[in-house]
Chains A and B, each alone.
Chain A
Amino acid sequence: MVLSGEARTEVRNGMGTLGYGKVYSINLSTGKIGTVQVDEKDYELYLGGKGLATRLLYDHTPAGLDPFDEEMVLIFSAGPMNGTGAPQSNRFVVTTKSPLTGGIANSTCGGSFATKLRKAGVALVMVRGKSKKPVYISINEDGVSIEDATELWGKGTQETQKLLPKGFGMAVIGPAGENLVRYAGIVSEERIAGRTGCGAVMGSKNLKAVIANGNHKIPIEAAETFKKFRNEMTKFLLHHPMTGGILPKLGTANIVNVAAGQNILPVNNYQRGRDTRAYDISGEAMEETYLHKQVGCSSCPIMCGRGLSMTVKPDHEGTPGTTVPKSEGTAKRSELTKGPEYETIGLMGSNLGCFDLKKIFDWNYLLDDLGMDSISCGGTIGFATELTSRGMLESDLSFDNHDNISKLIVDIAYRRGLGDDLAEGTKRMAEKYGGKEFAIHVKGLELPAYDPRGCYGQGLEYATTNRGGCHVQGATMYLEAIGPLKLDGHSIKAKPQLVVLQQNIAAALCSSVYCLFATYAMIPSIVFSLNPQGPAHKAITETLLNSGPVLSLVLKSKAPVPVLWFERFLSQVLGRKITMGDFVEIGERAFNMERLYNLREGLTAADDTLPDRLLNESTFPGIEGGVPLDKMMPKYYELRGWDRRGVPTKKTLNRLSIRN
């Protein structure tokens, strides 16, 4: 079935108009394809990516709609930076209502889909309705077509991508999305928009894939300046100790040892924060034994992905995989399989009591191929394992034996046996079996691999982030524990201010769309070489921890010039000046827009909290209790311009020009 587009409104990038591509509306129930005229002012206010998609989700769906209702909207969005070739500008965003939290769902994903979407001349695709049979959406410069996907239904994400037309950027679901696993993700190449269950919403529409391609020239208003600056920034990132050193060398799994050393690596469902076996599943261990080559997304110089040689892939019938050590000869790039990220190692490894890299390699592949979020999956299995150990659930799960995990992962994706329960996620498992006090989630979204009892700011971020327990909506743990600064994780000083600032910047990045890893180069190289026990390091950290009042003023002011490279790139691409103040405000607006969506859907201030275990149980000798959330939350609300119920005041909405 091929349907031509109708009433397309050309929205050009650059001077005169603020848009950066077509905005399609596709109804899978009726087969109708059209375009949406976005208010030009909204491009200025929300930019694109997550911000613009959240605005459209709010405007185009009624309150209280079930995530799996036919009328629910699923939005794929690029941003004005995608496809420009600027470093780390490769991610697309998926936005909808979360089947896990009942609030805002969004997730970003690397690869090449965002670039291809823009090359098709498209900024955003809004899908609603439900097809009677499985379909995929194909987009190019000539328009949109809805194609039969019956033959693809039931297939894994890797095979699906091989069977789809060559040369396209792809966003596909696997069996987990088809079977409405509440934490199903959307896969592009070997990357996944994993969090919040967007893949399940896609499955509920009988939509197997969205693919895009084209030759549309992506406009850059100040092309020469941009080109020069892009080269400068690429060099800068390649010479920075984090983006040019640690990340490419060890991948995101470089965090394992640092997290374990600081007692914030989740072990056995967050019962402990460290384990002497951590090194065995670290980025260092992977580099020493199995890393054949670094791999990366398009237009990214960092190459943080891990290229493994998996000569036999684990399948859905129980055949284990075979991962070949690099000592047996380096594999060709075309033969590589992407290895696990830190979060997968943390949640599917230490959180399950598993310190065997080869097992984690298999589970990582299965999760990606079935199309499931490894964080939520690992969190839910960890919770079920603790339930079992306490006699609250009958199962063969154990923190000491992992022979059955591969089968369980497949059972979750196909909702078989116990897998059907686990497909519902931790929150719903706790409602059925009990154990709320050790159910590790926020708002229904399972927590990533940073125990906030060792980084209180990250705890505040988890509690307040609109999509639930998530680390990439601010990454405050980078300032407190993981990165070079080490801002005393057990101090609450300046943490509300830092969390607000970090969340606003992250939301602006996701509206541009940049990769969050770009921010890791914001800390100057020299800080990495300081002695963490020395006076210079201490002076920097003490100054930052005492900077709360100054940061409060910074948050209220608007820096009138570009400060970070993000705003400079945006200014060059859009042909209008974006200052740091503008950039942070774009993020603040997107964050508040998400908040309004959550409030409309019934979430309240009571949902801005952490699991009992993380509030009450200490894992640090000499420190009583967990994260002192109640001591940080009032200041956080005040800085946000929210009332005591966590509702943005009229003054805040007016200041941010948000219509409600």
Chain B
Amino acid sequence: MAFLVPVYELSKVIGRRVEIDATTVGELIDKATTRYGEAFARTTTSALIVVNGIAINSLQGRKTKLTATDEVWFLKAAGGG
């Protein structure tokens, strides 16, 4: 599955896009935390997590199921226009 990391600080460490096999958001976060360590763990607590454009808060949170084509994005606040 496509796992995208467009969070500025983190993308420099692990790249712009990463693929991880996971069946839920929680599993994806756990696997990525194991792989990338503390830097990634911090991101999960300060970034909005969305699956295919929808915040996981509006889905099933960490239990949100993932399929092979799903995209999970970690997003910080933005501003401008």
Contact A488 B58 (CB under 8 A): yes
Contact B81 A532 (CB under 8 A): no
B4-23 contacts to A (CB < 8 Å): 4, 6, 8, 11-12, 16-17
Contact A261 B58 (CB under 8 A): no
- Say whether, besides A262-B75, A533-B61, A621-B52, A279 and B81 are in contact (CB < 8 Å): no
Tell me the complex Cα distance, A250–B75, Å: 14
Tell me the complex Cα distance, A490–B58, Å: 10
A271 CB, nearest partner CB in chain B, Å = 14
Residue of A254, A448, A517, A531 near B78 (CB, 8 A) is: A254
Indicate whether B56 reaches chain A with its CB closer than 8 angstroms. Answer: yes
> In the complex, what residue of chain A is closest to B47 when comparing beta carbons?
A532
Indicate whether B34 reaches chain A with its CB closer than 8 angstroms. Answer: no
Please name all residues of chain B whose beta carbon is closer than 8 Å to the beta carbon of A257 when the two chains form the complex: 6, 73, 75, 78
Tell me the complex Cα distance, A264–B52, Å: 11
Contact A342 B50 (CB under 8 A): no
Count A interface residues, CB 8 Å: 59
Tell me the complex Cα distance, A165–B76, Å: 45
A73 CB, nearest partner CB in chain B, Å = 28
Which stretch of A395-403, A425-433, A476-484, A553-561 is in the interface? Answer: A476-484
Indicate whether B54 reaches chain A with its CB closer than 8 angstroms. Answer: yes
Please name all residues of chain A whose beta carbon is closer than 8 Å to the beta carbon of B12 when the two chains form the complex: 288
Please name all residues of chain A whose beta carbon is closer than 8 Å to the beta carbon of B71 when the two chains form the complex: 274, 276
Contact A482 B77 (CB under 8 A): yes
Tell me the complex Cα distance, A278–B55, Å: 18
- Say whether, besides A284-B8, A304-B80, A486-B55, A261 and B17 are in contact (CB < 8 Å): no
A244-265 contacts to B (CB < 8 Å): 246-247, 249-255, 257-264
Contact B76 A246 (CB under 8 A): yes
Indicate whether B48 reaches chain A with its CB closer than 8 angstroms. Answer: yes
A403 CB, nearest partner CB in chain B, Å = 25
Residue of A252, A274, A538, A621 near B81 (CB, 8 A) is: A252
Interface of B is mostly: mixed
Indicate whether A229 reaches chain B with its CB closer than 8 angstroms. Answer: no
A581 CB, nearest partner CB in chain B, Å = 26
Indicate whether A454 reaches chain B with its CB closer than 8 angstroms. Answer: yes
- Say whether, besides A263-B52, A279-B16, A532-B57, A484 and B45 are in contact (CB < 8 Å): no
Please name all residues of chain A whose beta carbon is closer than 8 Å to the beta carbon of B58 when the two chains form the complex: 488, 490
Please name all residues of chain B whose beta carbon is closer than 8 Å to the beta carbon of A278 when the two chains form the complex: 6
- Say whether, besides A274-B53, A279-B16, A531-B45, A261 and B73 are in contact (CB < 8 Å): yes
Contact A471 B81 (CB under 8 A): yes
Contact B79 A255 (CB under 8 A): yes
- A241, A284, A538 interface centre (most CB from chain B within 10 Å): A284
Indicate whether A315 reaches chain B with its CB closer than 8 angstroms. Answer: no
Count B interface residues, CB 8 Å: 32
B44 CB, nearest partner CB in chain A, Å = 8
Residue of B46, B48, B79 near A486 (CB, 8 A) is: B48
B3 CB, nearest partner CB in chain A, Å = 11
Contact B57 A252 (CB under 8 A): no
Please name all residues of chain B whose beta carbon is closer than 8 Å to the beta carbon of A148 when the two chains form the complex: none
B30 CB, nearest partner CB in chain A, Å = 15
A620-637 contacts to B (CB < 8 Å): 620-622
- B2, B6, B12 interface centre (most CB from chain A within 10 Å): B6
Contact A241 B75 (CB under 8 A): no
Indicate whether B66 reaches chain A with its CB closer than 8 angstroms. Answer: no
Contact B53 A454 (CB under 8 A): yes
Contact A533 B57 (CB under 8 A): yes
Contact B54 A448 (CB under 8 A): no
Tell me the complex Cα distance, A247–B55, Å: 24
Tell me the complex Cα distance, A528–B77, Å: 7
Residue of B47, B76, B77, B80 near A251 (CB, 8 A) is: B80
Indicate whether A516 reaches chain B with its CB closer than 8 angstroms. Answer: yes
- B12, B74, B81 interface centre (most CB from chain A within 10 Å): B81
Contact A279 B50 (CB under 8 A): no
Contact B79 A532 (CB under 8 A): no
Contact B81 A342 (CB under 8 A): yes
A451-498 contacts to B (CB < 8 Å): 454, 471-472, 475, 478, 482-484, 486, 488, 490
Residue of B52, B53, B56, B73 near A533 (CB, 8 A) is: B56
Please name all residues of chain A whose beta carbon is closer than 8 Å to the beta carbon of B52 when the two chains form the complex: 263, 620-621
> In the complex, what residue of chain B is closest to A304 when comparing beta carbons?
B80
Residue of B48, B54, B55, B79 near A242 (CB, 8 A) is: B79
> In the complex, what residue of chain A is closest to B72 when comparing beta carbons?
A261
Indicate whether A282 reaches chain B with its CB closer than 8 angstroms. Answer: yes
A532 CB, nearest partner CB in chain B, Å = 4
Contact B79 A263 (CB under 8 A): no
Contact A258 B80 (CB under 8 A): no
Indicate whether A582 reaches chain B with its CB closer than 8 angstroms. Answer: no
Contact B57 A538 (CB under 8 A): yes
Residue of B54, B78, B81 near A258 (CB, 8 A) is: B78
A residues at B contact (CB < 8 Å): 241-242, 246-247, 249-255, 257-264, 273-274, 276, 278-279, 282, 284, 287-288, 304, 341-343, 448, 454, 471-472, 475, 478, 482-484, 486, 488, 490, 516-517, 520, 528-534, 538, 619-622
B residues at A contact (CB < 8 Å): 2, 4, 6, 8, 11-12, 16-17, 45-50, 52-58, 61, 71, 73-81
Complex A-B: 9 CB contacts under 8 Å: A254-B80, A258-B78, A262-B55, A263-B50, A274-B71, A279-B16, A288-B12, A342-B80, A471-B81
Sample of 5 more A-B contacts, CB < 8 Å, known A257-B73, A448-B81, A620-B54: A252-B81, A261-B48, A276-B17, A279-B16, A484-B77
